[in-house]
Amino acid sequence: MYAALFYFIAGLTVIGALGVALSTNVVYSAMSLLAALVGASGLYVFLAADFVAVVQILVYVGGILILTLFAILLTHQIAEIQVSNRSVGRLPALGLVVLLGLAMGAAILRAPWHVEPLAAATPTTYGIGDSFLNQYLLPFELASVVLLTALVGAIVLSRKELRE
Amino acid sequence: MNVPVENYLVLAALIFAIGCAGVLTRRNFIVILMSVELMLNAVNLTFVALSRQLVSMDGQMIVFFVMTVAAAEVAVGLAIFLAIYSQRRTVNADEISLLRW
């Protein structure tokens, strides 16, 4: 039962990812990205990472995907432009990607994983909060500085005066 | 919940390869950004899977930092894209060669 559900969610995620990379319409790509992100969130639930799953929905679907859709709708050329020499760059790129995937798959399947019985799924918020305010306090503060810088940078870049 | 860790890792490798293909083959700037998001998600999945396997919270902590950087990247990237679009009227990454010599 769990395995069937896992394969269903995994299939949803992979189909969504394929839709992002292969769809010729950008709006369809964004909708496929929604499927991939929700699927990844479901996999986090499978991995007993409840807080990460909720944050995935909030940040990626609620923030990043909406921002991307805004950018798509603000630019009028929604359909992908056909580029005349696309097959020249496309075949070597696909060969490279297949090679990369095979190398990663071989490495994963050959590695002697240290298998032990999994711990029971417990709420993770206590451990995450504890780590943020003890072990990871400096990266946590730096992350807020990064976000503030990105905020200011995005505002400066999209100001009217800079465009003219 | 007895799905072995290899399944998650192979799935993440597959999504990473698909995202990589998207970055390499697509010309639309927004689709390239979305494919980068896919690759970041695949890496996040690897971190969470190994965090579960190794009974350690560190993998999940790194996922939050990756998400922070991904949000910052999308905000700045789309702002740059909109600024370029309002000047050049193009969404094609091949036509944007301001920094190329």
Is pTM beyond 0.90? Reply is: no
| Domain carrying residue A50 | 1-79
- Is B41 in contact with A40 (Cβ distance < 8 A)? yes
A63 and chain B in contact, CB less than 8 A = yes
Query: How far, in whole angstroms, is CA A61 from its chain's centroid?
Result: 10
* Residue A147 contacts residue B71 (beta carbons within 8 Å): yes
Strand ranges for B1-101 from DSSP E? none
Among A45, A79, A113, give the residue marking a domain's end: A79
CATH of the domain at A65: 1.20.120.1200
Does A97 reside within a domain? no
A53 touches chain B (CB under 8 A): no
Cα–Cα distance for residue pair A145/A143, rounded to 1 Å: 5
Cβ contact B45–A124 (<8 Å): no
pLDDT, one tens digit per residue, over A92-140 is: 888 888 899 899 988 888 888 777 777 777 888 898 999 999 999 999 9
Burial (Cβ within 10 Å: 0-12, 13-18, ≥19) of residue A83: middle
Of A94, A121, A147, the CB nearest to B21: A94
Residues A12 and A71 grouped into a single domain: yes
Distance CA B66, CA B43 (A): 9
Which residues in chain B have their CB less than 8 angstroms from residue A150's CB?
A: 71-73, 75-76
Q: Tokens standing for A105?
A: 């798959």
Q: Give DSSP secondary structure letters for A92-120.
A: HHHHHHHHHHHHHHHHHHHS-----PPPP
ipTM of this complex prediction, to 2 decimal places: 0.88
Per-residue pLDDT tens over the stretch A10-61:
999 999 999 998 888 888 889 999 999 999 999 999 888 899 999 999 999 9
